[in-house]
Chains A and B, each alone.
Chain A
Amino acid sequence: MSLSIQNLTANIGDLPILKGITLEVPKGEVHAIMGKNGSGKSTLAKIMAGHPDYTVTGGDVLMDGRSLFEIAGPDERARAGLFLAFQYPMEIPGVTIANFIRAAIQSRLAEGEELEATDYYANLYAKMDALKIPRAFTSRSVNEGFSGGEKKRCEILQMAMLEPKYAVLDETDSGLDIDALKIVSEGVNALRSPDRGFLVITHYQRLLDYIVPDRVHVMVDGRIAMSGDKNLALELEARGYDWVTETAAEPALA
């Protein structure tokens, strides 16, 4: 059981962005992706989630053996168990957090099955409390007027409520203050389980002190140039991306 990305290539228009990505996140593991601005990290995340702007030109992504590309819409992929925490969460004026998450959960229920309101709110409040999101946020419009850090916390809240099989977190740590980073990391760690895999995109090694990854991958120009254990993040911090480009030609680290 894994999220298995196999030699994935993708274009935007005629421009190749992903140039053959292979990596596998087994259930129960946390993998980190680091890489320069523009190297294709968000593109990978959005393609897996089903963003319509990209064209997959080759390769596959298998979620527990099932090709994501055989699951038509982004909504179906999400219901099948994939979650993407957005680097830039969208604002939805007039739709409250409570109603939005409720609609998302309701969408996962069988026809005619109704979400029980009191249970739902009890669950929502418990998770908001854990993420130190004030309860008053339930009646605020999704992301509208939220600070950068508040948006990221709400992404994690949505993940916690939707309980995905695999979660891709795209720079969820950016914009978080030190306390929030801890709270969000605890939120993610609380969800770590043998039944769930994480792909964590980040620029900062510090996050990986809190969410300790099983593997770290470095993306350069649409490819995974290097993979290693959690120490790779430290090494990267010390040596910078040029070191990766230079050594990428050599056989990868273990």
Chain B
Amino acid sequence: MEQHDHSSSPHDAPHTVSYVTYLLIWLALVMLTGLTVALAGVDLGRWIIITALTIASIKTMLVLEVFMHLKFEDKTFRLFVLVACVTFAIFITLTFFDYAFA
């Protein structure tokens, strides 16, 4: 396994995130969860799914970018995650668009 050359990997670049940032992000996540729960009680009709998924996506982005350090990674990784997200979005759209026509 001596082949790996980590020296140029962005992993080694020192990147620290302050505790304050982590705390703020955590608070944002808690608030967004609160918002989801609150909205569950409001009758939004068909929009409920879209609203819930949008909030969930924002939360996911925050976790990926900050907690999982995606914002420090190089382009390839970001592209990979983008591919995963887009595929997932297509899955969800294709599953639910049928309900709109049913």
Bind each other = no
